[in-house]
């Protein structure tokens, strides 16, 4: 195995004086974004911070084309956090539909309640206050502060991590989980100006989504192909831990989805017999239902009845 090529922008762990700046990347990527960015509703000024927050919850592990119709319906029904907070959490689960990972709906409802109670119904601009909201992690707090309020934060989603891995560190894929080195690199590459940094965050994310994709990357369309360490090294194949492939068919996730679909479509409590019909294997079905109850997505009632949560 040949020794790895030194990344053209330095080691993210180097001192600030030794790190090469990210300026060669900023202008090409931002200019490309200005020309090619998708017109998405959460990027429009009228979306506001709440619209940005809703989109960030929905877009986690879910493609844009699936999110768009649910997002539009959600904002039409709950245009402000207080509107969602006034509803039962089960209504959030119902409206979530088939986006998957429905605990996100409960977390978004919990965040709406906290915003209403602590911040007068306005999504806070302060990064620390965003982080203090239930269901808000490092990524979502940085994304909302950056995209909604134009602040300077490193926003590291899967697409951005892949762009940085290839363009800067010369590897095909980033690690399976975000590392401290990736965070240091992202901070080192941030433009100093807050407005430019926020634009850079959105632009690098879009580049990963549309051009520097996980498969079939389009280097001929990439505005920084001439600077890309991975391309310049001949695109060496990934030699790290195996990439995790997501499966769905036959998993507990699929069973949970079918059980929730019955409850979403019902107008009242559902008997156990109705749930039993959605999956043939009783042990897996019971495990999936128990998991939904434990996660707060389903509320058991006396008499073998179940419903979406009211509290």
Is residue 295's pLDDT more than 50? yes
According to CATH, what is the number of the domain 252-307?
A: 1.10.10.10
The residue-averaged pLDDT of 151-162 equals 97
Task: State phi, psi for 307 to the nearest 5 degrees.
Answer: -150, 170
Question: Per residue in 73-109, is it b (16+ CB within 10 Å) or e — as a string?
Answer: ebbeebebbbebbebebbbbbbbbbebbbbebbbbbb
Query: Is residue 147 within 8 Å of 206, Cβ to Cβ?
Result: no
Catalytic residue of the set 18, 56, 72, 217: 56
160/144 Cα distance (integer angstroms): 16
67/264 Cα distance (integer angstroms): 18
Write the DSSP assignment of 97-165 as a string of letters: TTSS-THHHHHHHHHHHHHHHHHTTS----HHHHHTSTT--HHHHHHHHHHHH--------HHHHHHHI
Residue ranges of the chain that CATH labels 1.10.1670.10? 158-233
Architecture of domain 158-233: Orthogonal Bundle (1.10)
The predicted-structure confidence for 159-201, as pLDDT tens digits, reads as follows 999 999 999 999 999 999 999 999 999 999 999 999 999 999 9
The predicted-structure confidence for 264-286, as pLDDT tens digits, reads as follows 999 899 999 999 999 999 999 99
The predicted-structure confidence for 2-48, as pLDDT tens digits, reads as follows 333 444 444 443 433 344 457 899 999 999 999 999 999 999 999 99
pLDDT attached to residue 248: 78
**Fold of the domain spanning 35-149:** Endonuclease III; domain 1 (1.10.340)
Residue ranges of the chain that CATH labels 1.10.340.30? 35-149
pLDDT attached to residue 144: 98
Residue ranges of the chain that CATH labels 1.10.10.10? 252-307
Q: How confident is the model at residue 149 (pLDDT cuts 50, 70, 90)?
A: very high
pLDDT attached to residue 245: 66
Average pLDDT, the chain: 91
The residue-averaged pLDDT of 250-266 equals 93
The residue-averaged pLDDT of 240-253 equals 78
45/47 Cα distance (integer angstroms): 5
Is residue 113's pLDDT more than 60? yes
pLDDT attached to residue 60: 92
Q: Which helix (H) or strand (E) holds 25?
A: helix 23-36
The residue-averaged pLDDT of 279-305 equals 95
The residue-averaged pLDDT of 57-73 equals 95
The residue-averaged pLDDT of 133-161 equals 97
pLDDT attached to residue 9: 45
Query: Is residue 167 within 8 Å of 1, Cβ to Cβ?
Result: no
The residue-averaged pLDDT of 240-269 equals 87
Is 56 designated active site?
yes
Percent of the chain with pLDDT over 90: 86
Helices (H) and strands (E) in the chain, counts: 15, 3
Q: What does each C-alpha distance from 135 to 171, 178, 227 come to in angstroms?
A: 32, 18, 37
* pTM, full prediction: 0.87
Q: How confident is the model at residue 218 (pLDDT cuts 50, 70, 90)?
A: very high
Beta strands in the chain (DSSP E): 270-271, 299-301, 305-307
Is residue 247's pLDDT more than 90? no
The 8-class DSSP code of residue 297 comes to: S
């Amino acid at each position: 195995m040949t020794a790895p090529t030194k990344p053209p922008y330095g080691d993210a762990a180097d001192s600030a004086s030794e790190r090469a700046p990210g300026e060669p990347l900023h202008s090409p990527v931002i200019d490309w974004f200005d020309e090619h960015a998708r017109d998405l509703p959460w990027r429009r000024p009228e979306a506001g911070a709440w619209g940005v927050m809703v989109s960030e919850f929905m877009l986690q592990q879910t493609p844009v084309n699936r999110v768009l119709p649910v997002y539009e319906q959600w904002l039409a029904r709950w245009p402000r956090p207080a509107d969602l907070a006034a509803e039962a959490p089960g209504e959030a689960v119902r409206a979530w539909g088939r986006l998957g990972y429905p605990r996100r709906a409960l977390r978004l409802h919990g965040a709406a309640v906290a915003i209403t109670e602590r911040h007068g119904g306005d999504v806070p601009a302060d990064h620390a206050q965003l982080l203090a909201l239930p269901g808000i992690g490092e990524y979502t707090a940085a994304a909302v502060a950056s995209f909604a309020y134009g602040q300077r934060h490193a926003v590291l989603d899967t697409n951005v991590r892949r762009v940085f891995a290839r363009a800067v560190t010369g590897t095909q894929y980033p690690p399976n989980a975000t590392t401290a080195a990736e965070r240091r690199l992202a901070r080192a590459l941030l433009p100093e100006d807050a407005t430019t940094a926020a634009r850079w965050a959105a632009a690098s994310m879009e580049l990963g989504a549309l051009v520097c994709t996980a498969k079939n990357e389009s280097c001929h369309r990439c505005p920084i192909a001439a600077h890309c360490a991975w391309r310049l090294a001949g695109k060496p194949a990934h030699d790290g831990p195996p990439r995790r492939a997501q499966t769905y068919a036959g998993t507990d996730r699929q069973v949970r989805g079918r059980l929730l679909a019955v409850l979403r479509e019902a107008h009242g409590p559902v008997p156990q017999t109705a749930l039993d019909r959605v999956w043939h294997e009783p042990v897996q079905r019971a495990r999936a239902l128990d998991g939904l109850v434990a996660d707060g997505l389903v509320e058991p009632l006396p008499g073998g009845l179940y419903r979406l949560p009211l509290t």
